[in-house]
């Protein structure tokens, strides 16, 4: 493995082998810059969004440092802590750690709210080398004295701006205040509002700063278009655009949960297999929708901003904004779902007259005009069946979605699994990995998890569902913020 470009950065052979297995042939710019610094023990401030390769930029050197620094975690010990704003992102990071660390004898576990805590507690008792967690649940467990963080020597705050947006910053501060002072700390954020900068100053010591600006990433790699259309015609325009052969796998963004349900329902009626994903759906339903999308059973995913956050699926050819977001930054995050890891993508936004100010704000942020595209709708296209009442999420999830499936394209993530059994190159069908009753937990563990996988990774993530703790934000705009609360 001496010819590996990762080896040239100082990465050890078992990690290079795992990276070769997921077909990472050369490091991305953030990896080239971050890996040597992190191996040398430096703190890091990374300005980067998903799509830049930032997860491997921190996961690979962290795994190496853990493997080289003494024995694996003993009972009641957590050695490295990764805090992430959403369950989906936590699961994805956990999967990445498992894939990269599959030749190392380290335990990886993922902990988040909305599922039973017992398996998580068992995993904590056994000891965890890499714990990926959402802040609310972790703080609960710390409060119950079920999680001890006094041996944490590595800390990563991922998507710090989202942690802030979602009201987690206080929880994060409380967690960090209980960690040993002698540790290596990393903070990643796509944007750097004052509060995140303040948090970085508090948490990081003399950090290296690496800036992979999201604006350059998305603007350079994504073809962006806007279609001016009156609201009543959006549905028809969307259907027409989705029927273009170039669209092989698409994410459609809506602003609200109801909007996501309605659009998915309309597309299904128009013969386009689509699934909705948003914070009102159970964790199982969301994972199922994601799996269907990843393995090509459905080729259109309709999502709200927060539910889509951190979704990492390769080969998304198009992103459609059914509605423009209120925050211009969300536009950048949305279109970052396409054109990932160097591939080019296409983003199309449907904009009605009431949304013109939002379009102007977006153009100001990305510092370029978005090209206008004309789409004509004729009478026959407009005359399609009117929408009936929105089906419940569970009914929709259960119905067949294969009326107009596209051929499967590859996706990076394997079956969602928290038991260390992920095989990066394995068949990604996801079929064998779900229980017949659909009762599987989001991270793949069902009961007494933590079983050791053949590759040496062990995991002890949460399992059986239980009702999330409810606390609602006053959210005048009706955006999908439910995850802010259900993550806890």
Q: Least separation, in Å, of the C-beta of 218 and ligand AMP?
A: 12
CA–chain centroid gap for 278, Å, is: 13
Residue selected from 98, 312, 323, 480 as contacting ligand AMP according to rule CB under 6 A: 312
Using CA atoms, how far apart are residues 251 and 303, in angstroms rounded to an integer? 7
Q: Is there binding between residue 412 and ligand AMP (CB under 6 A)?
A: yes
Closer by beta carbon to ligand AMP, 343 or else 373:
343
Q: Is there binding between residue 24 and ligand AMP (CB under 6 A)?
A: yes
Please spell the DSSP secondary structure of 280-294, one letter per residue: TS-HHHHHHHHHHHH
Question: Which two structure tokens, joined as six digits, stand for 214?
Answer: 């999201």
* Helix, strand and coil percent figures for the chain, each rounded to 5: 40, 15, 45
Count of all residues that appear for the chain in the document: 488
Q: Is there binding between residue 53 and ligand AMP (CB under 6 A)?
A: yes
Residue selected from 16, 33, 34, 54 as contacting ligand AMP according to rule CB under 6 A: 54
Instruction: Please state the φ and ψ torsions of residue 226, each to the nearest 5 degrees.
Output: -125, 140
Q: Is there binding between residue 340 and ligand AMP (CB under 6 A)?
A: yes
Q: Is there binding between residue 1 and ligand AMP (CB under 6 A)?
A: no
Residue 3 CB-density burial (10 A; 0-12 exposed, 13-18 middle, 19+ buried): exposed
Query: Which residues from 172-231 bind ligand AMP, rule CB under 6 A?
Result: none
Q: Least separation, in Å, of the C-beta of 162 and ligand AMP?
A: 13
How big is the site for ligand AMP, counted in residues (CB under 6 A)?
A: 16
Q: Is there binding between residue 98 and ligand AMP (CB under 6 A)?
A: no
Q: Least separation, in Å, of the C-beta of 341 and ligand AMP?
A: 3
Determine the interface stretch with ligand AMP among 50-58, 127-135, 256-264, 447-455 (rule: CB under 6 A).
50-58
Residue selected from 14, 51, 136, 259 as contacting ligand AMP according to rule CB under 6 A: 51
Please spell the DSSP secondary structure of 364-381, one letter per residue: HHHTSPPEE------HHH
In sequence order, the β-bridge partners of residue 133 are: 83, 111
Q: Is there binding between residue 28 and ligand AMP (CB under 6 A)?
A: yes
CA atoms within 13 A on the CB side of 161: 20
Q: Which residues of 128-162 are buried (b: 16+ CB within 10 A; e: fewer)?
A: bbbbbbbbbbbbbbbeeebbbbebbbbbbbbbbbb
Site mask for ligand AMP (CB under 6 A), range 243-282, x = bound? ----------------------------------------
Q: Is there binding between residue 339 and ligand AMP (CB under 6 A)?
A: no
Residue 193 CB-density burial (10 A; 0-12 exposed, 13-18 middle, 19+ buried): middle
Among the listed residues 5, 112, 139, 2, the one whose alpha carbon sits nearest the alpha carbon of residue 60: 5
Closer by beta carbon to ligand AMP, 147 or else 301:
301
Q: Least separation, in Å, of the C-beta of 93 and ligand AMP?
A: 8
Determine the interface stretch with ligand AMP among 33-41, 49-57, 112-120, 324-332 (rule: CB under 6 A).
49-57
Using CA atoms, how far apart are residues 190 and 20, in angstroms rounded to an integer? 27
Q: Least separation, in Å, of the C-beta of 92 and ligand AMP?
A: 7
Residue selected from 8, 223, 314, 327 as contacting ligand AMP according to rule CB under 6 A: 314
Q: Least separation, in Å, of the C-beta of 55 and ligand AMP?
A: 3
Determine the interface stretch with ligand AMP among 20-28, 154-162, 178-186, 438-446 (rule: CB under 6 A).
20-28
Among the listed residues 414, 332, 281, the one whose alpha carbon sits nearest the alpha carbon of residue 162: 332
Query: Which residues from 55-94 bind ligand AMP, rule CB under 6 A?
Result: 55-56
Q: Least separation, in Å, of the C-beta of 165 and ligand AMP?
A: 18
Closer by beta carbon to ligand AMP, 77 or else 413:
413
Closer by beta carbon to ligand AMP, 263 or else 306:
306
Cβ 5 vs Cβ 26: under 8 Å: yes
Please spell the DSSP secondary structure of 212-228, one letter per residue: --HHHHHHHHEEEEEEE
CB neighbours of 68 closer than 8 A, spacing ≥ 6? Answer: 12
Cβ 78 vs Cβ 183: under 8 Å: no
Question: Which two structure tokens, joined as six digits, stand for 457?
Answer: 């990774």
Residues near ligand AMP (CB under 6 A) are 24, 27-28, 31, 50-56, 312, 314, 340-341, 412
């Amino acid at each position: 493995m001496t010819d590996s470009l990762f080896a040239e950065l100082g990465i050890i052979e078992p990690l290079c082998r795992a990276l070769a297995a997921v077909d990472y042939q050369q490091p991305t710019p953030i990896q080239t810059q971050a890996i040597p610094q992190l191996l040398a023990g430096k703190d890091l401030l990374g300005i980067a969004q998903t799509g830049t390769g930032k997860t491997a930029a921190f996961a690979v050197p962290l795994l190496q440092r853990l493997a080289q620094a003494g024995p694996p975690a003993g009972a009641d010990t957590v050695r490295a802590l990764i805090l992430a704003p959403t369950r989906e992102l936590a699961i994805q990071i956990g999967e990445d750690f498992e894939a990269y660390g599959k030749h190392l004898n380290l335990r990886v576990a993922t902990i988040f709210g909305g599922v039973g805590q017992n398996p998580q507690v068992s995993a904590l008792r056994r000891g965890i080398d890499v714990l990926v967690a959402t802040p609310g649940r972790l703080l609960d467990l710390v409060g119950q004295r079920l999680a001890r963080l006094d041996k944490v020597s590595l800390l990563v705050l991922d998507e710090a701006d989202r942690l802030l947006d979602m009201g987690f910053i206080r929880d994060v501060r409380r967690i960090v205040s209980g960690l040993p002072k002698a540790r290596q700390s990393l903070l990643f954020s796509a944007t750097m509002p004052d509060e995140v900068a303040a948090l970085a100053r508090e948490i990081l010591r003399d950090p290296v700063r690496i800036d992979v600006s999201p604006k350059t990433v998305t603007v350079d790699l994504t073809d962006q278009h806007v279609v001016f259309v009156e609201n009543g015609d959006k549905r028809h325009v969307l259907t027409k655009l989705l029927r273009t052969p170039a669209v092989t796998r698409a994410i459609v963004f809506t602003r609200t949960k109801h909007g996501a349900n309605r659009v998915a329902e309309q597309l299904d009626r128009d013969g386009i297999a689509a699934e909705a994903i948003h914070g009102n759906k159970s964790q199982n339903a969301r994972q199922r929708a994601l799996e269907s999308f990843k393995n090509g059973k459905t080729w259109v995913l309709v999502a709200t901003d927060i539910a889509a956050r951190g979704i990492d699926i390769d080969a998304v050819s198009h992103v459609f904004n059914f509605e423009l977001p209120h925050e211009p930054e969300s536009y950048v995050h949305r279109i970052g779902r396409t054109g990932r890891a160097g591939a080019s993508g296409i983003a199309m936004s449907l904009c009605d007259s009431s949304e013109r100010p939002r379009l102007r704000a977006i153009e100001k942020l990305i510092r370029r005009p978005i090209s206008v595209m004309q789409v004509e709708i004729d009478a026959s296209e407009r005359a399609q069946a009117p929408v009936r009442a929105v089906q419940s999420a569970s009914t929709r999830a259960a119905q067949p979605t294969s009326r107009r499936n596209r051929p499967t394209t590859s996706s990076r993530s394997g079956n969602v699994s928290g038991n260390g059994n992920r095989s990066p190159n394995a068949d990604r069908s996801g079929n064998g990995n779900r229980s017949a009753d659909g009762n599987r937990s989001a991270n793949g563990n069902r009961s007494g998890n933590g079983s050791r996988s053949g590759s040496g990774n062990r995991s002890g993530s949460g399992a059986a569902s239980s009702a999330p703790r409810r606390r609602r934000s006053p959210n005048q705009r009706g955006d999908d913020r439910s995850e802010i609360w259900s993550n806890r």
